[in-house]
Amino acid sequence: MAQEGARDMPGGRPALEHELADCLWSVLILAHRYNVDLNAAFLRTMDGLEQSITARGTTHAKP
């Protein structure tokens, strides 16, 4: 919200980058601990989202 100007928060972009990196670190640790293949899970999820969007008649490119 701060990045979009909707909320005034200290730290600005560096704070956003830190928080995103912290979230990513947590996801990577959990995936490792529970032996989750993140690449495969991500691809399955994106395929499912693409099918869902296509079924609604809306097209959207994969990230």
DSSP letters of 27-53? HHHHHHHTT--HHHHHHHHHHHHHHHH
Report yes or no on whether pTM surpasses 0.75: no
Between 34-43, 44-53, 54-63, the lowest mean confidence (pLDDT) is in 54-63
pLDDT digits (tens, 9 = 90+) for 5-34: 777 777 888 888 999 999 999 999 999 999
How far is Cα of residue 32 from the mean position of the Cα atoms in its chain?
A: 17
